[in-house]
Chains A and B, each alone.
Chain A
Amino acid sequence: MIFEELIIQAKSGNKEAFTELILHISNDLYKIGKTRLYEDSDINDAIQETMIKAYKNLKKLKEISNFKSWIIKILINECNKIYIKKYKKEKLIEKIKTAENINRIDNSTTSIDSKINFELLIDKLNHEEKLIVILYYNNKYSCSEIAEILNMNINTVKSRLKRAKEKVKKYYNGGVFYE
């Protein structure tokens, strides 16, 4: 209830209420930011830009219950902007280096249980898979809700989620990541 009251107050121009709203969901936003961006300072920039845009357009939000998914959509766009501006070239180089490393990792990893770092597994997923995984497991959205947020076909969401799970499961059981 208090979350909804904060949205009402924020809609009437209360900056402090809006700030408190975002603080409530800060961890969710951070995790989503991390699917695209690597530096915390870049994630911070994306979240700040998201807040400014969202606050200016808050009156356009018709349904209070859609607040979180609405903010997430804005954040995803902001992260993409920074990514395109800053990371694309760097990522391409990293990808080449990662491809070189995969074989080395796979060959050396025999005792998986002792070396599993789940964060690393998630990190191996591509951006879209990471985003869907976070929206599904962290934010607990349904596939249809995720499809709406990401402007995707629901079947695409389901297949990407399934693929992400398969990748992690395979690696968890000692397999290889395929891009």
Chain B
Amino acid sequence: MNKKHDEIDNLFFEYFENNTDTPNIIIDGIKTALYTEKSNYAITSLIKKIIITILSIIGLCGGIAIAGDYIFKTFGLGKGIDTAAKNGYILQQDISAEKKVDETDTEITIKEFLMDDQNLSTKFSFKFNSNSLESSNIKNIELKDLIITDENNVILYCGNEKALNEFCQNNNVQYKFEKFNDNYFNCGLNSFLAPSSEENIIILNYNIYSNNYPKSKKLKYKFQEIEITENEEQNSNKKILEGNWEFNIDVPEKMYNRQKIAYKVLNCSDENVEVSTAQVSDTGFEFGCIIKNAELPDELKQLKEQIENLPKLNISEEEKEKLISKYMNSHLPLSPINSTYYPDLGETIEDCTYIENQKNQKFLLSRNPGRIQQEKFIDNGKTFILYETFDITKYDITDEVRVHLNFYYKQINIQLKKIS
């Protein structure tokens, strides 16, 4: 017994040490709290799932992970990219600006870089030496006029019209802003700040994505205007830093020589499924198929519509609860392909869509906003087209894999084999 503590003290200590169980409702509530502001667990979890599913289908919601506690690492693009980076598919070296002019003496370094057919990701480190900028107050950084080009003068990204016009003038070409072509790519951007372990340094992840980037060997980054947004306490101040920054990147050979490996169908459990694409890259597995006779039976169609419109239904809370139970028991997902895993709603992995390798490892659909994705009905709803990317990569794949599709209430299994 501790000399400072008496018998009662020790009883207390022992009691609390031995009572560490937290009820599931608390754990589940914590996991979902930030995704809803209501306190009714069952209904709000479902509403959240509805919202996220709808947003996912229209490609706006790539970064939310509800299942498990996986925290996105490298560029915040999910497991596939992280696996690639862990296996060396990343350029990690400090690249300083070749040319740099600015009054504030802001030090910008490119720390990491990754490129494949869909992704062009760059991690910048910012050190603000000016007294007027405190990195802990910064909420957002935007490179307003960033333009990224390659050795063939292909524009891989262009932030604004001013940057495009300057490029056209210097290179004797005539492009119109947002009139994309083979040499001027249409891109999306997903950027966010991340902390650094070093003082006064802030990290900016700039994830640019497009459909089919060329196999560029040398990239040039150029920007002259940086917009800094400070936090709400200071009334969301926006400050502009002006200067002239240029960076050159030698793309690693494994990136410009990247290749995809194709897979063929060995067998499929549903004759209505025709596989159109099955290929693995360094960062993910692209899978495409057509599902014929895809209509839902009427009863399930009605249930699906009710659940999708649940927030707007003019029924009592008790009736809503009954509807949710009915939906749960029907195992009917909200989108045709159940692409996201919700264990807190009682789902098992078999309720989801995944790829399994020969090591019995299962890989879910990627949440990377840059992935090529299509889920749509054609032919008056009789045929469903699916194109998705899974988080299994060249580094996890085996000669044979199994695709498990949860299409509405049907479990479809497709066995694939590498084409040698």
Stretch of B19-27, B118-126, B396-404, B407-415 that contacts chain A: B19-27
Q: Which residues of B contact A177 (CB under 8 A)?
A: none
> If A44-B29, A52-B37, A169-B8 touch, does A138 touch B16 (CB 8 Å cutoff)?
yes
User: Does B173 sit within 8 A of A, measured CB to CB?
Assistant: no
Q: Which residues of A contact B177 (CB under 8 A)?
A: none
> If A48-B39, A119-B15 touch, does A12 touch B195 (CB 8 Å cutoff)?
yes
> If A9-B71, A137-B13 touch, does A19 touch B30 (CB 8 Å cutoff)?
yes
* Interface size class of chain B, counting residues whose CB lies under 8 Å from the partner chain: 35 or more
Q: Which residues of A contact B231 (CB under 8 A)?
A: 59
Q: Which residues of A contact B27 (CB under 8 A)?
A: 23, 26
User: Does A168 sit within 8 A of B, measured CB to CB?
Assistant: yes
Give the complex CA separation of A134 and B233 in angstroms.
Answer: 34
Q: Which residues of B contact A17 (CB under 8 A)?
A: 71
Contact B31 A23 (CB under 8 A): yes
User: Does B34 sit within 8 A of A, measured CB to CB?
Assistant: yes
Taking CB as reference atom, which chain B residue is nearest A17? B71
Give the complex CA separation of A21 and B39 in angstroms.
Answer: 20
Of the candidates A9, A15, A122, A137, the one whose C-beta lies within 8 Å of that of B194 is A9
> If A12-B194, A20-B69, A41-B41 touch, does A133 touch B23 (CB 8 Å cutoff)?
no
Give the complex CA separation of A101 and B198 in angstroms.
Answer: 61
Give the complex CA separation of A9 and B71 in angstroms.
Answer: 10
Q: How far is the CB of B254 from chain A (nearest CB, A)?
A: 29
Of the candidates B12, B22, B65, B192, the one whose C-beta lies within 8 Å of that of A133 is B12
User: Does B9 sit within 8 A of A, measured CB to CB?
Assistant: yes
Of the candidates B25, B64, B72, the one whose C-beta lies within 8 Å of that of A40 is B25
Contact A49 B39 (CB under 8 A): yes
Contact B23 A30 (CB under 8 A): yes
Q: Tell me which residues from 51 to 105 in chain B have a Cβ below 8 Å from any Cβ of chain A.
A: 64-65, 69-72
User: Does A27 sit within 8 A of B, measured CB to CB?
Assistant: yes
Q: Which residues of A contact B328 (CB under 8 A)?
A: none
Give the complex CA separation of A40 and B192 in angstroms.
Answer: 36
Give the complex CA separation of A44 and B25 in angstroms.
Answer: 7
Give the complex CA separation of A16 and B192 in angstroms.
Answer: 14
Taking CB as reference atom, which chain B residue is nearest A133? B12
> If A12-B193, A48-B39, A59-B231 touch, does A26 touch B72 (CB 8 Å cutoff)?
no
Q: How far is the CB of A165 from chain B (nearest CB, A)?
A: 5
Is chain A's interface secondary structure helix, strand, loop, or mixed overall?
helix
Tally inter-chain residue pairs, CB-CB below 8 A. 105
Taking CB as reference atom, which chain B residue is nearest A166? B8
> If A8-B195, A9-B195, A27-B22 touch, does A51 touch B69 (CB 8 Å cutoff)?
no
Give the complex CA separation of A20 and B298 in angstroms.
Answer: 42
Contact B30 A47 (CB under 8 A): yes
User: Does B33 sit within 8 A of A, measured CB to CB?
Assistant: yes
Contact B26 A19 (CB under 8 A): no
Of the candidates B9, B13, B21, B25, the one whose C-beta lies within 8 Å of that of A41 is B25
Q: How far is the CB of B336 from chain A (nearest CB, A)?
A: 27
Contact A13 B34 (CB under 8 A): no
Contact B233 A13 (CB under 8 A): no
Of the candidates A8, A12, A51, the one whose C-beta lies within 8 Å of that of B34 is A51
User: Does A131 sit within 8 A of B, measured CB to CB?
Assistant: no
Contact A51 B39 (CB under 8 A): no
Give the complex CA separation of A18 and B31 in angstroms.
Answer: 10
Contact A47 B26 (CB under 8 A): yes
User: Does A31 sit within 8 A of B, measured CB to CB?
Assistant: yes
Give the complex CA separation of A134 and B192 in angstroms.
Answer: 39
Give the complex CA separation of A133 and B16 in angstroms.
Answer: 10
Q: Which residues of A contact B20 (CB under 8 A)?
A: 27
Q: Which residues of A contact B12 (CB under 8 A)?
A: 133, 136-137, 165, 168
Taking CB as reference atom, which chain A residue is nearest B10? A137
Give the complex CA separation of A134 and B13 in angstroms.
Answer: 10
Contact A51 B71 (CB under 8 A): no
Give the complex CA separation of A119 and B15 in angstroms.
Answer: 8
User: Does A14 sit within 8 A of B, measured CB to CB?
Assistant: yes
Q: Tell me which residues from 111 to 167 in chain A have a Cβ below 8 Å from any Cβ of chain B.
A: 118-119, 122, 133-134, 136-138, 165
Residues of A within 8 A of B (CB): 8-9, 11-20, 22-23, 26-27, 29-31, 40-41, 43-45, 47-49, 51-52, 55, 59-60, 118-119, 122, 133-134, 136-138, 165, 168-169, 172
Q: What are 24 A-B contacts with C-beta separation under 8 Å?
A: A9-B194, A14-B71, A16-B65, A16-B69, A22-B30, A22-B33, A23-B31, A23-B69, A26-B27, A27-B21, A29-B26, A30-B26, A40-B25, A40-B26, A44-B39, A47-B29, A48-B29, A48-B33, A49-B39, A52-B34, A55-B34, A118-B11, A119-B15, A169-B8
Query: In the complex, given contacts A118-B15, A169-B8, what are 7 additional A-B residue pairs having Cβ atoms less than 8 angstroms apart?
Result: A16-B71, A19-B69, A23-B27, A31-B19, A47-B33, A51-B34, A168-B12
Residues of B within 8 A of A (CB): 8-9, 11-13, 15-16, 19-23, 25-27, 29-31, 33-35, 37, 39, 41, 64-65, 69-72, 192-195, 231-233
* 3 closest cross-chain pairs (CB), A and B: A137-B12, A138-B16, A44-B29
